[in-house]
Amino acid sequence: MEGAPPGSGLYLISTNKYPDHKNYIGHKLDPLADLYFGREWHISTFALSGIPESNLEISTKLAGSTSGHIFLLDNINGLKSFTEHLLITNKIGKLIPSGEKKLTFNDLLISDIEVLPGTEYVMAMFFRDNNAGSFRLKNPDGLEASTGDRSSSSVLETPNTVIWIINDPIPGIWNVDVTGISGLVSSWYLSSNKYRLNFQMPEVVPTDEAAVISAFISEAEALSKISLDATVEADVTPPGLSTVSYKLKDDGSDGDSKSGDGYYSASIPAPLSEGKYEVSIQLSWPDVKYSLTRDFTFEAKVFPSITMEPLYTSNLFIGEEYTVATIYTRIKDSPYSILPSSIDAQVINDAQFNGILKLSARSPDAEGKAWMYDVIFSPDKSGQLATAFKAELSYANRTYSRYTENLILESREIPQAPAQNYSYTTPNDESTDSSETINKSKTNMLLVITIPIGVLFILIIPIVIYRSSLPKPYGFISDESGNSVLIFNQLKNRNPVKSIFLRHVITGAETGISEFAETNFIFGKGSLLITATGSSHTIRINNQPLVGSAYISDGTWIGATGKLFRFTTEKTYPE
């Protein structure tokens, strides 16, 4: 016993009478029980009929102190309990009840035994109060068993137990008639089937995808195709909900990948409830009461996903570089950082695109991973460009893909004013009079002044057109008391060049409010987007943390470093 592993045990059977005084128990039995319990060994005992009372007490104490079993072999329940313990311990199976009755000598007990197709053997067990009685085995046709309905059978009989083993029985309901016994008779059986139900499904599945349950039948570790009249069904119990039954099919539909390949499948539609699902698969045949069953569980979880928020997608000039969108990878509302190489930018409608479409990670970690990415775009031609982004993600031992929605980018050329033709008059001969000379001199002076003004006008026109196409900042920021602290269209500290080319983007520094550092306000046509550009300042929008970017509207509360502000489209006043 010294090298025995945890879970080992000692089975003790005795008819001796033990001393019942406390010294014997304290000095002899308690140290032994403590030793076994400390090494995770158990002592299981058998109590036979007619043993002394002290023997039963000691046996019960030893079994209880070491997490063992005590088997009372002086009654039918004890015999059945011991038999079932042996079967389960040796992974043979579990007993199925088939009848119990207290008989007189002339009474009859008919025990039904359900035999499924593919059954290798059936072990029928009868526990009785005495060793009298007769047992008659009948096949599903109601006739005495013969060599044609089984390959062989055998009987093992003890005073209180009869065990009948039937090898390779034909399918159907077999009967055992029990007569000639006075007392209680309990009938049980177990069977071994050559068919095995197997299932194919990940232990964890995403909640936003349909889950496919797939099962197949094997025989001797090889795939076995069952008869056409057999059916495979699954009872699925979602977390906290009622059980739903699905018929698994092998016809290439409803989640089944290939018709007739021996794999039976059914699809549970998305979205799935988050939590553990319980599944029971049954293989059954017509006119057969029982079925082969296999139980398993799987868990549905929220997987990381990719989302995109468009920023500035129109009036994009050729050759200029823009941040047109922000991409996020998250689990629910929590960041999930990935490498830039895990995201693939795809151009959908232009195979000849030669512009710039790339990602720029925000605040990457030491491994280069980030959960926020800016989409940088520079068009090479005018027109609409359709793009999307594919993320290759890994989670719960599974690699999968997720896509953003399409992003439509509208580009155009920088407007050019039409070129103007200037004509110059060739001087006449020296006989030209003085008045004509004076007129020419005035004309030349006018040209000298007009040409620079025209060039300047040509340069200004596209700038004016571009600036007028940009949305104008609007709205007010007030403190929690209603005092106006910021008017977006009256900022005094804006960079002149930036106010022309990026008048729709106001940085936190330009607001003059320190709490808005590391934020940008991006004005669109009827919209306002607030974007976090760093992580040192925490911003909350309507008491929710700002994750990347968020649209705000009239009346939105903005919390920043312990202070509370409110955005409104109209100026507010203290209450």
CATH architecture, domain 86-193: Sandwich (2.60)
Residue ranges covered by each domain of the chain: 9-74, 86-193, 195-301, 305-412, 476-568
Provide the residue count of the chain.
Answer: 575
Rounded Cα distance, 3 and 437, in Å:
127
Yes or no: say if 509 and 529 are a contact pair by the CB < 8 Å rule. no
Task: State the CATH class of domain 195-301.
Answer: mainly beta
The SS3 call for residue 545 is strand
Rounded Cα distance, 533 and 371, in Å:
13
Strands 108-115 and 119-128: unpaired
User: Going edge to edge, which strands form the sheet with 549-552?
Assistant: 505-507, 519-523, 528-532, 549-552
Give, rounded to a whole angstrom, the gap between the first and last alpha carbons of the chain.
Answer: 85
pLDDT of residue 424: 47
Rounded Cα distance, 213 and 196, in Å:
16
HSE-CB for 123 with a 13 A CA cutoff: 15
pLDDT of residue 227: 75
For the record, the structure tokens of 540 come out as 């909350």
Contacts 24+ apart (CB under 8 A), 51-55: 51/14, 51/15, 52/15, 52/16, 52/17, 52/18, 54/17, 54/18, 54/19, 54/20, 55/14, 55/15, 55/16, 55/17, 55/18
For the record, the structure tokens of 225 come out as 């195709």
Among candidates 174, 154, 149, 151, which has minimal Cα distance to 96?
174
Look up the CATH superfamily of 305-412: Rel homology domain (RHD), DNA-binding domain (2.60.40.340)
For the record, the structure tokens of 231 come out as 């059916």
The SS3 call for residue 438 is helix
Q: Locate tokens 């006008």: which residue? A: 457
Q: What is the largest CA-CA distance in the chain?
A: 159
DSSP category for residue 255: T
- Burial class, 555, CB count within 10 angstroms (exposed 0-12 / middle 13-18 / buried 19+): exposed
pLDDT digits (tens, 9 = 90+) for 326-346: 999 999 889 999 999 999 999
Q: Is the peptide bond before 310 cis (omega within 30 degrees of 0)?
A: no
Beta pairing partners, 291: none
- The CATH code of domain 476-568 reads 2.60.200
Rounded Cα distance, 81 and 83, in Å:
6
pLDDT of residue 207: 93
Rounded Cα distance, 491 and 77, in Å:
91
Beta pairing partners, 390: 344, 403
pLDDT of residue 452: 62
Rounded Cα distance, 302 and 299, in Å:
10
HSE-CB for 76 with a 13 A CA cutoff: 17
Global pTM reads 0.56
- Residue-wise DSSP of 161-191: EEEEEEESPPSEEEEEEEES--EEEEEEEEE
pLDDT of residue 312: 82
Rounded Cα distance, 361 and 372, in Å:
6
pLDDT of residue 455: 56
pLDDT of residue 214: 92
What residues in the chain have per-residue pLDDT under 70? 1-3, 14-28, 47-51, 55, 73-75, 90-92, 146-149, 415-467, 575
Domains 195-301 and 476-568 share a fold: no
pLDDT of residue 459: 59
